[in-house]
Each structure stands twice: as C-alpha cells, then as structure tokens.
C-alpha cells in the first residue's frame, strides 16, 4: 500500500510505503526528496518532526532558494543525494555534463503510482502481480542540465521488502556522462545508538563468512571490482544496532540484484545519521548518455525487520523464491544428483560415467552431471574453453549414445559449461583472438590458464548461443551447470570507442544477462545451476536465471556449516547446492562420518560428488536412506521458514566453535526439521537447544523418540540434547529431529 499525503512543513507530497509490517516514509521539501523513516510499521504519515535542524552555516552550505536557515543538504536525510551542491557525503549520483561540470541538484517534478511492478528493462528484477505489490515512481529533474531521474519504489504487500532502482534520462541535446549511479540510498538519521554493518566476506572455498563491523564516523564499505559480484564480498549488507540479535532488534538488509562490480557503503555523519547506499562500484565505470537515452540502474532490495536478523533473512528467502527466481524449477522438487567432478576430475570416459550412473540408479539418485573435461582436447585446465564440441575419444559417438544409456538407467543427464571463457590454447582463440577482453598493447593476465570472452559483443554471444544450443539439442540434457572461473582484467573491448571503454564492466554483465535470457527462453525446462569456482558469483541476479547455485568448492561438512549458514543470511536453502563428498575431504583432508555429511548437505539442494563405485554396501544403503529422507523433507527444507539457532562461531557453555544448529518450520507450523551438529566435542558436554517458529499452543511429536512436547516448552525451555545421540557426541557428529504437530 502507498499512502500519499502532504506534510505540515511546506504542504508538499509525503509518501508512506507500507510493505508487510514495515513502513518506508519520505517527503518532498522545497523540491528535495528527504528520507524520514525505514523500519517496523508506524501509523503516522507526517514524520517531518523527525527532521534534525542543526548545523553551522559556514560549514554546511544551503540551497539559495530555501527560506529555512537551518536547511542544508549536508545534514538533511536524503533519498537520492547528488554531487556538487552542498552534500559532501557519498553521492548516489554523479553526472558530468558536456561542459565538463559535475554539480547537480535534483528537484521533484511529479510522481505516479502503479498497481504491481512494471518491467523497466531486461535486467534481472523482482516481479510481482497487481495483487502483490504497489509501485511509486518519483520524477526528479536537474534544473542546471535538464537531466531527469526516475526513482522507482515497489512495496511488496505481504513482505516487509521495498525494491528500488533509478533511471537516469537525458532529454537534452548534449551527451552527459554518468560517473556514479547508485540503485538505492537512504539516510538513517534516528537510531541514536551504536550501529554496526553486517556483511559477508570470503574467498575461494570460504564464501560468505559473516562479519559484524561497528560503525564509527567515516565510511565502511564492501565492494567488488572483479567484474563479478565475487567470492570476496557478497552484494549484501545489513545495517543493525549493537543490540540486534537473530530474534530481536532492528535490521535493514540491503541486497543488490547485480552480478558485477558493486559497492555497498555506510557513512556516518557528525550527527549520527548513517547513509546506506548500494549500487554499481564507480571504479572504472562511466556511462555516456546520448540525447534521448536512459540508463537503468540494477535493482536494490531492502528487507526491513524490527525483530532481528532471522526475520530479515526469511523475508529475503521468500522474496527470492516467489518474486525473483523465474525458473519453472523455482518451487519444484529438484532431482538428487551425482556430479563426477570430485569423483574423476578430468579423468573420465563414457564407461566410467556409466559405472557411476549404475550405482547412482541403484541408490535412488536421479541425475548424473558430467562436469568439466568433456569437450575439445581438455584433459586438464589448460585448454579448450570455447571449443564446445564433444571429445569423442572420451565419449565415443558423442553425447547422444551416452545420454540414452544413462536415461535407460532411469537417470536424467546434466552437463557443465563455462561459456564466458576462452583458452588461449583453443580453436576459438586461434580463429578469434579479438574475442577475448584485452587492452591493446598490453599482455593479458591469465588465471587458471584462461582469458575472459568479451561478452559486450553480440557476435560473441551469438556464437555461444549457437554452440551451447547445438550441444543441448544433441541429446536429452535436462540440467546445465554454468561455471565462471576467473575475474576480469584488462577489461577493454575491441568494438567500443575510447569514450565508451568505461562501460565495459557493466556492458559485460548486461551481455551475460542477454545470453542467459536467450538460453533460458529457448530451453525453459532446463534446470540451470550457477557456479563460479564454487560460490563466487552467488548473487540474486544469477538466481533470476538459475534457481540453484553451487555454494562452494569446499565440500567439507564442517567448513560448510560456516558457508551455508553464512549464505542463509540472504539466500534460501533451495538456492544452495550442497553435495556429500568423499572422506577424507579433498579440500581439508578432514574425516567426517557419512551420516553427518548427509545431514549438512541436506541444508540445501541435495546431491553427491564422489565416486559411488568405491563405496561400501553399507554406505550405499545410507545413500538410499538419505535420498528417501530428502524426498520426505523436501518441502520443509526448501519451502519452510529457516531459523539459525547456533552459528559455528557462537559460544555455547563456555566453548566457542563447538556446535551449530538450524531448523526449518513449515509455513503452517505443523512440521519442523531441526539439525544439530557437534563440530568439536568436549568432555561431559551439555547441550540445550531452544527452538523457534513453532506454535506455542500446539504439541509436537518428535519422530525418532516419540516424545510429545508443547511448542511453548520447545521454544522457551528448550530441549536437552546432552544424551540425544546413541554412542555419545564426537567431533563431527550430528542429529536430525523431525517434529510433527499432533
């Protein structure tokens, strides 16, 4: 719902967006757009009394045409601050006009309201019907240059989520250059208590590690300049207070639907107001806007919670599942797969794959995925990317006979691609050296012996679409793993003029979207899984096309606790691809029981990644039970509400890093699945767990013990797990408990 009134100070418009149980309020004041409130719902519209009227005239310039002596853009809380006219804090927008000047002043022109969420362009975006959302467009204009900005706000009716983006339009007759354009900015001016930024950092094998950083005066930012959203920081941060926990306190999550360079920053001014901004990272970004052209920023999503981080995460989960993942697989039960990467690496042929497939079929596994190494002359990672033609030495007769035999075993078949890459040692590079990104006169940096294709070029994308289509049409291929294993360097395009080279990084991402759009439109039934050296580009933009993403190349169950629970801050279980792999684990050499590896992998889209032909009969029996369990609990795990109970870094009974726990509860609270893992056992351990999200008035039966307990007891007093495991608690041991309302 969007309420539009006029406020008491100047009578100009005031906008109150109600999204779920949250309010987002801003107003027009002498033409400027001022932010007033973002948080749990408030009844009043006119929140202008919250405006702070302080500041010393000599250090805070004020617009010449505003009568109020206290008013300065350097102090006022703003919705979309611009550069050069008195606000010295980080700007949301900076444009350079044809005369070289960069001072801009955005003033309100008009607004429009729409039911639903109109599509703006072909970039990934939240979708919602006319019954599910309301959208407000506020049109602003810079009197000096004539450039206009449309700020778009969508309030989702059933969820405390507000979606924002900016569209910069050039109605003038001279070109302008955008040097900085955020998707969303808001100034949180009323918290008046210690604030923190929670974000997810990482690297290869350690994606999405949770970090909370106290905010001091100055700027804290997270970003990627790698050409992809990256392992290093996820395009997400949450503004919280020092007292925010999983279940209490304010949290404003900000997530950018973008697969490229991004920056999210929190800047604290001298009066304690925090500017929270998300958008394209401005390093090596410029965009030339010719007369009549417009530039559409990526979308940013605010998840607003007054009840802690758990609720913020659950809002993101629902939003992505119901309003972002477009795949017909978004809500469907995914096949349990076995991937041959950690089973064989590059060393496989049809017979080896069939041997794995036979054992897979006998264990109830539903799909075989053939990973890297099936094309060109690729027997290691030094060649052939771009040559998407079957290596018939490995797969005699091509894909069709292999897939037919795998299908005959009752298994689906999936395949790996790394479309955006080119090996210097490839037929493609011999034919088209200019198809790789590169700066004339400079060597190209290599990573994993490969270069990056120039995805800004339509001819490159046409080639990829055709070669990938040829493969997909050659056999019954029902799944694709879309990998991306290096970041961009020397990012210049042979086809763009000098004044547009600053557009390459963003045009690359738009080119990637275009190819993904074409592939998903041509193969609507395909299950697409994203991947980037593990989870290096695990972001909402990729989830728009691919409902699941390979979470990390680190498949060690204990390491996965950090990675999967960190990922859960923003992404639902249904998006996290999680596999049981060999023990000792290939990345850490750690030995973990088959049972625990299964319990942890069941935290997401479940599968296996090991050589099934080497397993014992007992292990194969366990796989049968795990697959059956996964099918039983699929709806609960993937469509239920997720609660983090103990993070691996938490201190429990004086021990830090000793255990982890999480649970999912069905939307109607009739069922719950709880997983508890002991990471490091100790002498005489004492474990209690308080559950979340149940109906306190109902009674629940736990399946394995038959114990009947009230929801109120499970949530308030908790359960005693001290003796819950037969044989006692050892390093890497776990239990899963299933509760049903009676």
Angstrom distance (rounded) from CA 37 to CA 14: 12
Task: Give me the least distance between CB of 535 and ligand DGJ, in Å please.
Answer: 8
Task: Give me the least distance between CB of 577 and ligand DGJ, in Å please.
Answer: 9
The contact set with ligand DGJ (CB under 6 A) reads: 341, 371-372, 416, 483, 485, 531, 533-534, 550, 553
What one-character-per-residue DSSP string does 533-597 give?
Answer: TTBTT-SHHHHHH-SEEE--S---HHHHHHHHHHHTTTS-GGGEEEEEE-SS-TTT-----HHHH
Q: Name the residue number minimizing CB distance to ligand DGJ.
A: 372
Phi, psi of 526, rounded to the nearest 5 degrees: -65, 135
Task: Give me the least distance between CB of 550 and ligand DGJ, in Å please.
Answer: 5
Shorter beta-carbon distance to ligand DGJ: residue 416 or 606: 416
The three-state (H, E, C) secondary structure of 148-189, written as one string: EEEEEEEEECCCCEEEEEEEEECCCCCCEEEEEEEEEEEEEC
Shorter beta-carbon distance to ligand DGJ: residue 314 or 579: 579
Closest-CA residue to 94 (of 81, 82, 85, 105): 82
Shorter beta-carbon distance to ligand DGJ: residue 550 or 608: 550
Angstrom distance (rounded) from CA 630 to CA 607: 10
Closest-CA residue to 86 (of 52, 57, 108): 57
Helix or strand run (H / E) with residue 624: helix 617-639
Phi, psi of 352, rounded to the nearest 5 degrees: -65, -45
Closest-CA residue to 368 (of 358, 378, 376): 358
Angle between helices 557-567 and 594-601 (to 10 degrees): 10
Task: Give me the least distance between CB of 422 and ligand DGJ, in Å please.
Answer: 15
Angstrom distance (rounded) from CA 416 to CA 376: 13
- Residue 469: exposed, middle, or buried by beta-carbon count in 10 A (0-12, 13-18, 19+)? middle
Shorter beta-carbon distance to ligand DGJ: residue 201 or 341: 341
Shorter beta-carbon distance to ligand DGJ: residue 196 or 553: 553
Shorter beta-carbon distance to ligand DGJ: residue 169 or 372: 372
Shorter beta-carbon distance to ligand DGJ: residue 227 or 279: 227
Shorter beta-carbon distance to ligand DGJ: residue 225 or 378: 378
Angstrom distance (rounded) from CA 551 to CA 561: 11
Task: Give me the least distance between CB of 412 and ligand DGJ, in Å please.
Answer: 18
641 is a catalytic site residue: no
Closest-CA residue to 365 (of 76, 715, 561, 607): 607
Task: Give me the least distance between CB of 15 and ligand DGJ, in Å please.
Answer: 44
Residue whose tokens read 């893992």 = 677
- Omega prior to 145 cis, within 30 of 0: no
Task: Give me the least distance between CB of 346 and ligand DGJ, in Å please.
Answer: 8
Among 45, 359, 553, 641, the one annotated catalytic: 553
End-to-end CA distance of the chain: 38
Task: Give me the least distance between CB of 205 and ligand DGJ, in Å please.
Answer: 10
CB 165 within 8 A of CB 299: yes
Token pair of 116 as six digits:
């639903």
Helix or strand run (H / E) with residue 17: strand 13-19
Task: Give me the least distance between CB of 609 and ligand DGJ, in Å please.
Answer: 8
Token pair of 464 as six digits:
């990829």
349 is a catalytic site residue: no
- Secondary structure percentages of the chain, helix, strand, coil, to 5: 20, 30, 45
- Residue 264: exposed, middle, or buried by beta-carbon count in 10 A (0-12, 13-18, 19+)? buried
Shorter beta-carbon distance to ligand DGJ: residue 457 or 537: 537
Among 371, 454, 483, 556, the one annotated catalytic: 483
Task: Give me the least distance between CB of 435 and ligand DGJ, in Å please.
Answer: 21
What one-character-per-residue DSSP string does 301-348 give?
Answer: EEEEESBHHHHHHHHHHHHHHHHT--STTTTSPPPPEEESHHHHTT--
Shorter beta-carbon distance to ligand DGJ: residue 207 or 562: 207
| Residues with catalytic roles | 483, 553
């Amino acid at each position: 719902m969007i309420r539009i009134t006029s406020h008491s100070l100047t009578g100009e418009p005031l906008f109150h967006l109600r999204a779920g149980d949250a309010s987002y309020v801003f107003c027009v004041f002498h033409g400027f757009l001022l932010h007033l409130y973002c948080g749990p719902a408030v009844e009043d519209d006119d929140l202008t009394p919250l405006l702070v009227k302080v500041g010393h005239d000599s250090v805070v310039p004020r617009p010449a045409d505003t009568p109020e002596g206290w008013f300065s853009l350097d102090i006022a809380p703003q919705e979309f601050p611009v550069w050069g006219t008195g606000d010295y804090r980080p700007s949301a927008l900076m444009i350079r006009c044809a005369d070289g000047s960069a001072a801009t002043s955005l003033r309100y022109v008009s607004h429009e309201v729409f039911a639903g969420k109109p599509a703006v362009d072909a970039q990934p975006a939240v979708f919602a019907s006319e019954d599910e959302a309301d959208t407000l467009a506020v049109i602003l204009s810079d009197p000096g240059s004539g450039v206009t900005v449309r700020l778009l706000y969508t309030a989702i009716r059933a969820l405390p989520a507000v979606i924002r983006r900016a569209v910069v339009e050039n109605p003038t007759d001279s070109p302008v250059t955008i040097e900085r354009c955020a998707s969303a900015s808001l100034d949180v001016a009323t918290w008046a208590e210690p604030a923190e930024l929670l974000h997810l950092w990482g690297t290869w094998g350690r994606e999405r590690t949770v970090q909370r950083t106290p905010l001091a005066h100055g700027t804290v930012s997270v970003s990627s300049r790698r050409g992809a959203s990256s392992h290093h920081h996820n395009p997400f941060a949450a503004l919280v207070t020092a007292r925010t926990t999983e279940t209490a306190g304010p949290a404003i999550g900000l997530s950018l639907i973008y697969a490229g360079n991004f920056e999210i920053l929190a800047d604290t001014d001298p009066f304690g107001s925090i500017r929270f901004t998300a958008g394209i990272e401005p390093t090596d970004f410029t965009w030339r806007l010719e007369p009549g052209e417009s530039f559409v920023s990526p979308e940013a999503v605010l998840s607003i919670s007054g009840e802690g981080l758990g609720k913020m995460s659950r809002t993101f989960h629902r939003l992505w599942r119901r309003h972002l993942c477009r795949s017909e697989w978004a809500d469907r039960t995914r096949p349990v797969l076995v991937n041959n990467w950690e089973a064989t690496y590059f060393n496989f042929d049809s017979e080896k794959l069939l041997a794995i497939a036979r054992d897979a079929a006998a264990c109830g596994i539903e799909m075989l995925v053939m990973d890297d190494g099936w094309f060109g002359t690729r027997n290691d990672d030094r060649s052939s990317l771009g040559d998407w033609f079957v290596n018939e030495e490995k797969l005699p007769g091509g894909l069709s006979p292999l897939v037919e035999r795998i299908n005959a075993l009752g298994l689906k078949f999936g395949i790996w691609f790394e479309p955006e890459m080119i090996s210097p040692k490839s037929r493609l590079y011999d034919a088209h050296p200019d198809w790789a990104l590169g700066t004339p006169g400079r060597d190209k940096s290599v990573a994993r012996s490969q270069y990056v294709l120039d995805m800004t070029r339509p001819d490159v994308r046409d080639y990829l679409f055709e070669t990938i289509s040829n493969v997909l049409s050659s056999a019954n291929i029902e799944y694709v793993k879309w990998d991306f294993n290096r970041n961009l360097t020397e990012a210049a395009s042979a086809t763009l003029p000098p004044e547009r080279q600053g557009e390459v990084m963003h045009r690359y991402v738009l080119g990637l979207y275009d190819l993904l759009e074409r592939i998903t439109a041509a193969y609507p039934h395909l299950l697409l899984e994203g991947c980037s050296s593990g989870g290096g580009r695990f972001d909402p933009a990729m989830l728009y096309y691919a409902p699941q993403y390979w979470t990390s190349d680190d498949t060690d169950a204990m390491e996965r606790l950090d990675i999967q629970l960190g990922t859960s801050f923003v992404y639902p279980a249904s998006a996290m691809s999680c596999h049981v792999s060999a023990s000792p684990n290939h990345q850490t050499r750690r030995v973990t029981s088959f049972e625990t590896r299964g319990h942890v992998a069941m935290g997401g889209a479940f599968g296996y990644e090991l050589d099934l032909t080497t397993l014992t009969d007992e292990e194969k029996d366990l796989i049968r039970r795990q697959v059956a369990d996964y099918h039983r609990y699929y709806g609960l795990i993937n469509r239920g509400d997720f609660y983090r109970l103990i993070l691996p870094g938490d201190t429990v009974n004086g021990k830090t890093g000793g255990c982890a726990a999480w649970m999912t509860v069905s939307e109607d609270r009739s069922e719950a699945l709880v997983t508890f893992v002991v990471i490091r056992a100790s002498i005489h351990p004492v474990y209690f767990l308080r559950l979340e999200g149940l109906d306190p008035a109902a009674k629940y039966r736990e399946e394995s013990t038959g114990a009947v307990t009230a929801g109120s007891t499970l949530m308030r007093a908790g359960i005693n797990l001290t003796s819950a495991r037969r044989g006692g608690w050892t390093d890497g041991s776990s239990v899963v408990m299933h509760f049903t309302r009676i």
